[in-house]
Amino acid sequence: MKKKNIIWIVGFLVFVTIILSVVGMFFNKSEDEKLNGLTGFYDVSDEGTIAYVYYSDGKPEIRVYHPEQSGVEKAVELENDKYILDPTFSADGSTITYISTNKDLEETLKSTVYQVNLETKDNQELFSFASAITEIEFSDNEESLFYLMAGVFQNYSPIASKRPHDFDVHEYRFGDDKHLQHTEMKEYSMHSLQIAPDNKSVFVTMDEVADTTPEESFEVHQRIFEIPLEEPSKRMVVSDPNREVDIFDFTMVPNNKEIVFQSIGNVDSGDTFQYELYKYNLETKQEEQLTNLKEYTANPVIRRNQIYFMVDKQFAKRDSAYHLYVMNMDGTDVKEIQLPNNETSE
């Protein structure tokens, strides 16, 4: 009897071990497959067509939605070990340029920029670097593509997560297949790349130059800078230099006299931060709040005299839940755009 019990126990342990091994293999396999749903990366063409990044069982896709039509088209699908960043329409809406990076940048730091033709589905590689390319933006005449590239992917302190650092502004010229590095700043962070209409300067958000003492360095704010490409050292703050709350995402209004930007709306509340959109007039120096959603409102894009933006309704939680919205330039008539995320046509 005792021998039978031992045999039963051993058999049970073997069975449990097999089950746990299978479960372990399942979860290891699905580590790259657990991303699902809409992300914050999108663009809108001049005709109102929307391209957005969507994950299906970990596989990143670029989906294209025509509001006047009933369906959604899958323009790009990559393997589940990749991310897709910053899809960007050409002026005529015929192509989308985007960034592909490895999910595990610690193991292999690499970024590749592609351009997909929406009619032929031809997916052409433009260039690739063993660095972190985070944003792309066409020049006004589309003869070149500007991009932000970080030289390292690491954590600058033991308590901070690993992120791209040492940013600079680069340019790729299509005509002669040439790359130019415009700055040598190695900035800790740099975001929201925008190009001036004359292509002589760029706009980005980054930190102010820190003062010398540790106490004063804590007072550094993130602001919007204009960087002249011929003399990058003469960068200057174009947002309110006295604003006490950091500025994050932003976009230039086509009149080049205003900026729509994201910032924290409840900085003194002590609660989870809520991010809203604001407008700042570069001439009058006046600021107004555009949204009051008390959510995480970000990624403004201006097309057809309207402001598109994303809202993460589960901000600060384990999984994000992005929703695309649109409103008038003065912040009125805020409404959600219902993207058909479940069905696509190839």
Segment 311-338 mean pLDDT? 94
Give the pLDDT score at 107: 82
pLDDT reading at 29 higher than 70: no
Phi-psi region of 268 (alpha: psi -120 to 50; beta: other; left: phi over 0): alpha
Query: What distance in Å separates the CA atoms of residue 65 and residue 45, rounded to the nearest whole number?
Result: 11
Q: How far is CA 15 from CA 6, 7, 18, 49, 56, in A?
A: 14, 12, 5, 54, 33
- Contact assessment for residue 248 and residue 191, using Cβ atoms and an 8 Å cutoff: yes
Tens digits of residue pLDDT in 238-247: 999 999 999 9
Query: What distance in Å separates the CA atoms of residue 336 and residue 215, rounded to the nearest whole number?
Result: 43
Take residue 345 and report the two structure tokens written for it: 């046509």
First-to-final CA distance of the chain: 64
Determine how many CB atoms are found less than 10 A away from the CB of residue 342. Answer: 7
Segment 323-331 mean pLDDT? 97
Give the pLDDT score at 7: 39
Segment 58-85 mean pLDDT? 93
Q: Which of 231, 217, 252, 154 is nearest to 185 (CA)?
A: 231
Query: What distance in Å separates the CA atoms of residue 131 and residue 97, rounded to the nearest whole number?
Result: 18
Tell me what the pLDDT averaged over the chain comes to: 87
Write 148-155 long-range contacts (CB < 8 A, 24+).
Answer: 148/190, 148/191, 148/193, 148/204, 149/111, 151/186, 152/109, 153/105, 153/106, 153/109
pLDDT reading at 181 higher than 90: yes
Q: How confident is the model at residue 341 (pLDDT cuts 50, 70, 90)?
A: low
Tens digits of residue pLDDT in 102-157: 998 878 899 999 999 999 999 999 999 999 999 999 999 999 999 999 988 887 66
**DSSP per residue over 180-200, as a string?**
EE-----BS--EEEEE-TTSS
Tens digits of residue pLDDT in 291-309: 999 999 999 999 989 999 9
Segment 210-236 mean pLDDT? 78
Question: Picking from 13-27, 150-164, 216-230, 303-317, which range would have the lowest pLDDT averaged per residue?
Answer: 13-27
Query: What distance in Å separates the CA atoms of residue 192 and residue 263, rounded to the nearest whole number?
Result: 13
